[in-house]
Structure 1
């Protein structure tokens, strides 16, 4: 039986700003799942890319005084640096501005044209004549048009105060956030995809099987599929940074058209580099496609994207895994409070393994927000990782430095067998993205192992030369129970897995290593595997984040 072939993606981060700890929830969640699949012997690829097109990129590049192409290259390097710092391992990390993505956009576009699903329509928008651009929602502010509200300084899509939704042209006294001038109304030709013609397919796809979490399927049914789907505007007029539509000069594919196609474009980049065939991954029915996204982009990924794939004849996702938002200390992330923390800032002060573990302990298979509470964060790392897991190695390995483990695995009262039997339940939890449940089972094994070490007391056995072999047996059991936990935590804590492999001269490469005790291997010199969370590190990180906010505000003033 051939191993599963799985292609996994995360939503493409927008190339208009740095990665922060809120973004990292998704990329850490995905990386854990991919590492788990590979540890189980499946062939699992992780594809991602920077989302590089749109008015926002164009305006940011203008403010920096550089071409958009240079701006996105700088941001790409920063994103790769930050992801690497958190041990997030992509098979390919590309860009939606690549030639491969252009080719894939053209493939999708030709399929839509062939199916006669594209129509033209005149659209009236707000236009900033001073800046020479049509204004997207985020680039216009004005007074809320809701008669019961009239809140000032609201963006062009919805009111922060009353929740009322509207179009930018509905705003009272609109002002461009780019030039500060009053925009004018202008009309231009836009291209639309008639997605309603795929309504029956989308209803069947979203409501059947287990492709979506139940709450997501119900949300789509109740909010969108209960009425005709509106045509999707998939073009923007010049000036616009993106790909010009070949058969519609002066119009560009909208960023939300070419962004998901970036999954395919990134795979094509990898295929060209690796000598593989794109068809084996995106057209082969035996290949699984899994997307990991946040709940805020459910609409695009669960309706528009399956429709696009269906039209073009590519594989549909086997599963779309959707997660909630991150709050910090029970509140929305805030620059002024120092809780909108950039990945780069975190890495200056704290171990990335802390955050990987904390997020894993909080993530479930449901669409739930998770909270990063720094007091709980410190207690969880210090208690779970340092006090439970790492403690097993630190209290045993130093007694066998430079010596071999016992030639035969000693009698341990069934502890190793019990943890080995837990392997399938832990695997099922990882598979379903219920990482919190996996962590709880793993920690229970750690508790049992620590009780054994307390009773065996190798520090006392060390005092009696006549009990040297009893000491070796006790440490062999303790180190094997620790190694089992390191195998099970390897998707979450790859650094700990690497350190464990070096300590015991047996690299962790397979889930099955948790089923067979390690014997006779030389134990290397023990070095600290992890330290307690430094309180001053958390304080310095939040202080730097507040200072960065003040500096950004001063620079934009």
Structure 2
């Protein structure tokens, strides 16, 4: 049963242009990409856009340290990020940068609309200032002794030893991370988005609690933040920073710049606008308040606050549509612990490729762990080896290798047209909507468990019929062709179900089986006797334990 065509705009969080992509980041892009590929297979119009998040003090200071301009730095990092996403088969329709003319224009336009709506307020605030570098210091650029437990070398916003949170002005013996100087206090005018305005509070209460099908954990968290009617829990949001700063200048405030978190999410729209201009799409039709299009954001749970409070309010009160939904995921641990550079488990995306790993091993393994919740997931390296080898090689790939040779050598690669009438194939085809619902709901672990249960049944069919035994009997040629045809049809179906997760292998299967690119509705379209299958070629190799050791060593 086919569903009406939908029109979807999908994003993943924008990686910061101050570091490399590691496997913890990749969980999110793989999760998004599987969903996007599935939606494309269903025949929907899907546009998946992203960008590097490029502004802020850390970018400015790193560029200075490297002796290059911030623009040179972000251009270099963009190439690395794009390489990593391409290597892991992340199928962005457009991968852009937040340091773009489109983003500057959109950010300024949105700001002016918020200002004209009476939602921007200028206030004088006291901040820490580095007298040597002559710059205001973000919280993370001030260190000192924790005011609660006395631990040394703690950041200006929270203590990593006792967990206390505080203001940078509370630190004892503070010093600037940039110059080492003792910060002084200095007054500066800042611009605030008035989230405490009753209009914002009412909108956000309704959007988070009633209108948007947020994950239960997210909705409960939002309930803590937005409070009950009559309560005023939302604080106003400081959206400005002082020069020197790498970013966009605020239109009516010389020397003041948009805080990176103001223009970064607008970068979703800027990337899409850039794409629309290149492809001749109507950008306004997708982002206007009453549009029938859908807009989804995949993010980590650590940035839920920005995407379910600031971003919807920014869109609502500047005249744009609000997100259809925001999907948050948990963090990745490795062998049950936080990723660690000293243990070699802060694994960069590029090192995975350089150590000879197949990126689809990781895509599959992450998918077996992902569901629709915000719970953390663990990359257990021993389990990774066992799961990939058992599921992908032992259960799935093995099906093709056990049958294709007989069909090519004995029957010219021609399948039996009657194969689809077999109950086994009818059962696999009947699972189509169940598996589709699981992909739609981001329940990838359940979807893959269902596929592997079907693979077990196919392998049971092969073991029961023993084509290698039938092949010895010249009188049973028809039986041999039938058994091998059923097996290859089953392999075709399983490959279709796995295509969002392991698209490169699926493409190889389509070539091997002489098929055009498969969509979800092709589940009941049998292999044709008019298009003989090709000789079987290895589709995937096993993971070997020494590869894991090499990967860990490469990341020390």
Q: TM-score range by the shorter chain?
A: over 0.9
Asked if 1 retains the 8 angstrom alpha-carbon contact of 2:340 and 2:346, the reply is yes
Aligned-residue offset at 1:507: 2.8
Residue 314 (structure 2) aligns with: 308
Q: Is the 8 A contact 1:143 1:174 kept in 2?
A: yes
Give the whole-Å Cα distance in 1 for the aligned partners of 2:73 and 2:193: 31
Aligned position for 1:297: 303
**Are positions 1:513 and 2:522 aligned together?**
yes
Higher mean alpha-carbon deviation, 467-476 vs 348-357, is at 467-476
Deviates further, 236-245 or 471-480: 471-480
**Alignment counterpart, residue 424 of structure 2, candidates 415, 429, 449:** 415
Q: Deviations over 1:477-530 (max 9, x none)?
A: 111101111101100010111011000000333101222322313111211111
Distance in 1 separating the partners of 2:4 and 2:462: 42
The equivalent residue for 2:42 is 40
**Structure 1: tracts of 5 or more residues without a match:** 547-557
- Secondary structure of 2:505's counterpart equals helix
**For the residues of structure 1 that align with 2:364 and 2:470, how far apart are their CA atoms?**
34
Task: Tell me how far apart the structure 1 counterparts of residues 194 and 434 of structure 2 sit (CA, whole Å).
Answer: 45
Given that residues 130 and 181 in structure 1 are in contact (C-alpha distance below 8 angstroms), is that contact kept between their aligned partners in structure 2? yes
Aligned match for 2:236, one of 231, 239, 262: 231
Asked whether the equivalents of residues 455 and 494 of structure 2 are also in contact (C-alpha less than 8 Å), the reply is yes
Query: Partners in 2 of 1:456 and 1:100 — Cα distance?
Result: 62
Match of 1:332 among 323, 333, 338: 338
Give the match for residue 493 of structure 1. 502
Q: Give the alignment of 1:423-502 within 5 angstroms.
A: 423-502=432-511
Q: 1:425 and 1:450 mapped to 2: Cα distance? A: 21
TM-score under structure 1 length normalisation: 0.96
- SS of aligned partner of 1:289: strand
The answer as to whether partners of 1:462 and 1:471 remain within 8 angstroms in 2 is yes
Task: Pick from 522, 525, 548 the counterpart of residue 538 of structure 1.
Answer: 548
Q: Which residue of 1 aligns with 2:166?
A: 166
Q: Deviations over 1:162-202 (max 9, x none)?
A: 11111111111111112222222122111001012200110
1:487–1:508 contact (8 Å) kept in structure 2: no
DSSP 3-state at the match of 2:162: coil
Shift of 1:411: 6.6
Distance in 2 of aligned mates of 1:282 and 1:405? 50
RMSD (CA atoms): 1.3
C-alpha distance in structure 2 between counterparts of 1:341 and 1:351, whole Å: 15
Tell me if the contact between 1:405 and 1:522 (Cα under 8 Å) persists in the aligned partners: yes
Q: In structure 2, the residue corresponding to 1:196 is in which secondary structure?
A: coil
Task: Give the equivalent residue in structure 2 for 1:371.
Answer: 378
Q: Residue in 1 aligned with 2:251?
A: 246
Query: Which runs of 5 or more structure 2 residues have no equivalent in the other structure?
Result: none
Alignment CA distance shift 1:205-1:426 (3 Å): same
Q: Structure 1 residue 407: deviation in Å?
A: 4.0
The answer to whether the 8 Å contact 2:458/2:487 transfers is yes
1:138 equivalent in alignment to 2:144: no
**Distance in 1 between residues matched to 2:462 and 2:258, nearest whole Å:** 63
The TM-score with structure 2 as length reference comes to: 0.96
Deviates more, 1:460-469 or 1:169-178: 460-469
Q: Using the alignment, how far apart are the partners of 1:405 and 1:212 within structure 2? A: 50
* Aligned-pair CA distance for 1:160: 1.0
Q: Distance in 2 between matches of 1:471 and 1:348?
A: 43
Task: Say whether the 8 Å CA contact 1:409–1:519 is kept in structure 2.
Answer: no
CA contact (8 A) 2:408 2:414 kept: no
**Aligned partner (choices 202, 209, 220) of residue 204 of structure 2:** 202
How many residues in Structure 1 have an aligned counterpart in Structure 2? 544
1:225 positional shift: 3.0
Comparing 411-420 and 65-74, the one that deviates more: 411-420
- In the alignment, is residue 98 of structure 1 matched against residue 100 of structure 2? yes
Per-residue deviation, 1:532: 1.2
Q: Which residue number corresponds to residue 24 of structure 2?
A: 22
Q: Distance in 1 between matches of 2:310 and 2:396?
A: 45
Quote the Cα distance in structure 1 between the aligned partners of 2:41 and 2:150: 56
Q: Using the alignment, how far apart are the partners of 2:418 and 2:171 within structure 1? A: 74
Alignment map for 1:109-120 (pairs within 5 Å): 109-120=111-122
